[in-house]
Amino acid sequence: MNDALLELCQISYRYPDGSVGLDACSIAIQRGSRNVLIGANGSGKTTLFQHTNGLLRPQTGVVRYAGMAVDYSRAGLRALRSQVGMVFQNPDHQLFSASVQEDVSFGPLNLGLDMATVRQRVAAALQAVGMTEHADKAVHNLSFGQKKRVCIAGVLAMQPTLLILDEPMAGLDHAMQQELLAVLDQLHAAGITLLMATHDIDFAYRWAERIHLMAAGRCTASLNATDLGEHAEALAAVGLPLPQVITLHRALVERGILPANPPPRCTASLLTMLAEAKITQETTC
């Protein structure tokens, strides 16, 4: 627990109209890990995210970044926001400028970097999300998936330590989701800590190292993805089923078709296991 990059302790937040955003919510994100925040619509994911880079200030509780309580002064917020990058759910809410390149340059210029460095960072960020050839395009001529990537590039260009993505898969088709995941894998390999909101348990199980469950403004459990299978009750408590691949694998184990270990994390590896099991059966008889 000592290596927590970001820690929220007992955060409560009530919106001005009285609706509860967060209710004594605690969560810890380990440095370099892949995290998923999973919960129904309205469970408080977006509200929690807005606390991670100081857009909202907790009414009770503390936010700690790298072991230090967040300082809400101008300079403190500046430091926090240059470390914690946030990609919003709706790209049209995030993209300011009419041109791709200009928009990506917005964050680094706010950091006070010089033009040469900014140019270099913009190019690198666009390259990382595979949008180099669209650098001079107008934002409104891009597809939804491309806009999303520009949003990510705009945050990457600030070189954050922790990247937060609010429902990044929403609205993307299958191919675009795969491309986005490839981008995220690269970022993770480069040492960036990732935290993403979703409500797809199968995806969370496949992708994340750690899964945080949200319900009614509270983080009810933080689980290692590897032992998710043992926490069916915790999942049921927030209205989620076990990932399908776990259920399927268990049924196959029960019939003696597959070994219990190692448990597959996605359908593809389950299929591979099946293919292998068949071969061993054939060779034994």
Interacting residues with other proteins (CB under 8 A):
50, 53, 55, 74, 78, 81-82, 85-86, 88, 90, 92-99, 101-107, 109-111, 115, 118-119, 122, 136-141, 154-155, 158
Cβ neighbors of 87 (< 8 A, separation 6 or more) are: 94, 148, 151, 152, 155, 163, 164, 165, 166, 168
Q: By CB under 5 A, which span of 42-50, 98-106, 131-139, 239-247 interacts with Mg ion?
A: 42-50
19 binds, among ligand ADP, other proteins, Mg ion, none (CB under 5 to 8 A by kind): ligand ADP
**Cβ atoms 115, 165 nearer than 8 A:** no
Nearer to Mg ion, 37 or 100 (CB): 37
> Do the Cβ atoms of 194 and 163 come closer than 8 Å?
yes
Residues 36-95 that bind ligand ADP (CB under 6 A): 39, 41-47
Report the nearest approach of ligand ADP to the CB of residue 131 (Å): 26
Interface size with ligand ADP, residues (CB under 6 A):
12
Q: Which residues pair with 95 in a beta bridge?
A: none
Q: Is 97 left (phi over 0), alpha (psi -120 to 50) or beta?
A: beta
| Smaller CB separation from other proteins, 104 or 211 | 104
Cα separation, 83 vs 219, whole angstroms: 23
Which amino acid, one-letter code, is at 107?
A: G
We find the least distance from the C-beta atom of residue 40 to ligand ADP, in angstroms, to be 7
Considering only the stretches 13-21, 152-160, 222-230, 247-255, report the one whose residues sit in contact with ligand ADP under the rule CB under 6 A. Answer: 13-21
Tell which residue, 91, 266, 86, has the closest CA to residue 171.
91
Binding site for ligand ADP (CB under 6 A): 15, 17, 19, 21, 39, 41-47
